[in-house]
Amino acid sequence: METSKVIHAIYTDDDVLMAAVKKVKANKYHIGEIYTPFPVHGLDKAMGLAPTRLAITAFLYGCVGLIVATVMMNYIMIEDWPQDIGGKPSFSYIENMPAFVPIMFELTVFFSAHLMVITFYLRSRMWPFKDAENPDPRTTDDHFLMEIPVSGNEKELHDLLVETGAVEVNLVNNTH
């Protein structure tokens, strides 16, 4: 394992954290990670993170669900076991498609939702029985933690973080 030093700056207010992120980025420091007890609107943009591509995968998963629904209903209701329901014989899929729309919609949503959950957990590396990576348990309650890697600039960075409103600044060994 590689050991490096990082500074953990702890904040107690999300607005102070946002201002601090902007100031730290303006001073050309790289923010390794930020731990928050709830999502902070605009934090990803302030950190300079790339937009997520998860919406594209949700659309693709929905398309897969629509295709599965169409193929499944065509096979079951038209090819495998056609039935005369209410005097309406099943000669083709197109003639019966209006009755299939609710099933198509539900399977589109089902595939999109369930596969997105799996994709999110895999992308976030959050699988069952994984140990937590949270460096300070207070960040699950009411504190915000900014983690910044250091390399010989501890004093300047410490002073900058205190100036931005950090209530606590700690130099720790990071083992990732």
Q: What is the pLDDT of residues 79-132, one digit of tens each?
A: 888 887 777 777 788 888 888 899 999 999 999 999 999 998 898 888 888 888
Average confidence (pLDDT) over 2-21 = 89
Is 174 a residue whose pLDDT tops 80? no
Is 37 a residue whose pLDDT tops 90? yes
Write out the two tokens for 134: 């949270």
Strands, E, within 58-167: which ranges?
144-149
Closest Cα partner for 17 from 157, 143, 128? 143
Task: Report the pLDDT value the prediction gives residue 3, as an integer from 0 to 100.
Answer: 57
Average confidence (pLDDT) over 159-171 = 91
Quick one: DSSP state of residue 85? Answer: B
Question: What is the separation of C-alpha 102 from the centre of its chain, rounded to a whole number of angstroms?
Answer: 29
Task: Report the pLDDT value the prediction gives residue 85, as an integer from 0 to 100.
Answer: 75
Task: Report the pLDDT value the prediction gives residue 110, as an integer from 0 to 100.
Answer: 98
Q: Give the tens place of pLDDT for each residue, 40-94.
A: 999 999 998 888 888 999 999 999 999 999 999 999 988 888 887 777 777 788 8
Task: Report the pLDDT value the prediction gives residue 154, as an integer from 0 to 100.
Answer: 84
* All structural domains of the chain with their residue ranges: 3-50+142-175, 54-123
- What does 3-54 look like in DSSP terms, one character per residue? EEEEEEEEES-HHHHHHHHHHHHHTTPPP-EEE-SS--TTHHHHHTPPPP-H
CA dihedral (58, 18, 167, 34) positive or negative = positive
Quick one: DSSP state of residue 112? Answer: H
Give CA–CA dist 123/119, Å, rounded: 6
Task: Report the pLDDT value the prediction gives residue 2, as an integer from 0 to 100.
Answer: 56
**What does pLDDT average to over the chain?**
89
Residues 6+ apart with CB under 8 A from 108: 62, 63, 65, 66, 69
**DSSP-derived 3-state class of residue 2:** coil
Task: Report the pLDDT value the prediction gives residue 144, as an integer from 0 to 100.
Answer: 95
pTM for the whole structure: 0.71
Q: Per CATH, which fold does 3-50+142-175 belong to?
A: Alpha-Beta Plaits (3.30.70)
Residues 92/78, Cβ–Cβ less than 8 Å: yes
